[in-house]
Amino acid sequence: MSLLTSRPALVVGRTWLTADIVSFWIRETILARTVDPGQFLGVRPGLGPDPMLRRPLSVADVAGNRLRLIFQVRGRGTEMLARAKPGDYLDVLGPLGKPAPPLDQYRLVVCAGGVGAAPLLYYVRRMKKRRHTQVFLGARSKERLILVDEFQRTGVPVMVATDDGSAGYHGTVTELLVNRIRVQDPEGTGKKYGAQQTGGVKRLVVLACGPKPMLAELVCRLAPFPVWGYIEERMGCGTGICYCCALPRRDGGYTRFCQEGPVVLLNEVIL
């Protein structure tokens, strides 16, 4: 469901998770009731027209009439947003995009790079069954890891990797994940997990969010498993009109990730 009317949302909390990643709670009852995991908001600081293009931000959690946004400060737009304080208003448009597919009938591996953990938290918290879910979180260093405790509180096993080895596995989260899967399926056929969901063995499916090179590597190294991913790349209108977010599909044509995504089956697109 898309409610394409922008709304003022009151900032009710702000906490810095790392030196450049901030967590906001905003109050907006209609959005909190309607937004599903995978969807995002177009956000502008204050109620004026600057910056002209809203910045797309995924919803990281919902509690009652409040929504959580977690974002990394990258440029002018996110700097302006990060300056908002409790009591200020943000202008939000949404929910945009499609809800992520429910994957709890599979053996689900959730993989996050850096701030990519944010939308995956909402996804895992809203899953009906988490019994066969594992979470892998990666960051450059211990100081840049986010949301580990919050994922652990959902009751799923959480594995951590850091590029510099300051916490968990020493290396990238992709490497850790691929190694773990290889241990359980040494020939990489997918058969150990069941190529089909038969004989009580659940098929393995990956859901990932992180930088594009990480997503591309997961698809490449995890074939033949399906890899779903949040595409959080540059976006224009956010509503399906401008085609600036279109990704070429392997079967021809394009997928606009603001419209058909942002969660797409990565095996079907060219990243």
Under the rule (CB under 6 A), what is the footprint of ligand FES?
235-238, 240-245, 256, 258-259
Shortest separation between residue 233's beta carbon and ligand FES, angstroms? 10
Residue 78 touching ligand FAD (CB under 6 A):
yes
Question: What is the three-class DSSP state of 237?
Answer: coil
**What does the alpha-carbon distance between residue 125 and residue 196 come to, in Å, rounded to a whole number?**
26
Site string for ligand FAD, 94-133 (x = CB under 6 A): ---------------------x--xx--------------
Could you write out the DSSP letters of every residue in 105-135? TSEEEEEEEGGGHHHHHHHHHH-S--TTEEE
CB atoms within 10 A of CB 135: 25
Residues 142-161 that bind ligand FAD (CB under 6 A): none
Choose among 52, 34, 33: nearest CA to 42: 52
Contacts of 91 (CB under 8 A, 6+ apart): 6, 7, 8, 9, 43, 44, 45, 46, 47, 54
Q: Which range, of 55-63, 174-182, 185-193, 215-223, touches ligand FAD by CB under 6 A?
A: 55-63
Choose among 86, 34, 100, 24: nearest CA to 55: 24
Question: What is the three-class DSSP state of 230?
Answer: strand
Nearer CB in complex with ligand FAD: 74/182: 74
Longest dimension (CA), the chain: 58
Q: Tell me which of 24, 25, 71, 106 binds ligand FAD, using CB under 6 A.
A: 71
Residue 235 touching ligand FAD (CB under 6 A):
yes
Shortest separation between residue 52's beta carbon and ligand FES, angstroms? 14
Q: Tell me which of 28, 32, 58, 108 binds ligand FAD, using CB under 6 A.
A: 58
Shortest separation between residue 206's beta carbon and ligand FES, angstroms? 24
Contacting residues toward ligand FAD, per CB under 6 A? 40, 55-58, 70-72, 74-78, 115, 118-119, 232-235, 262
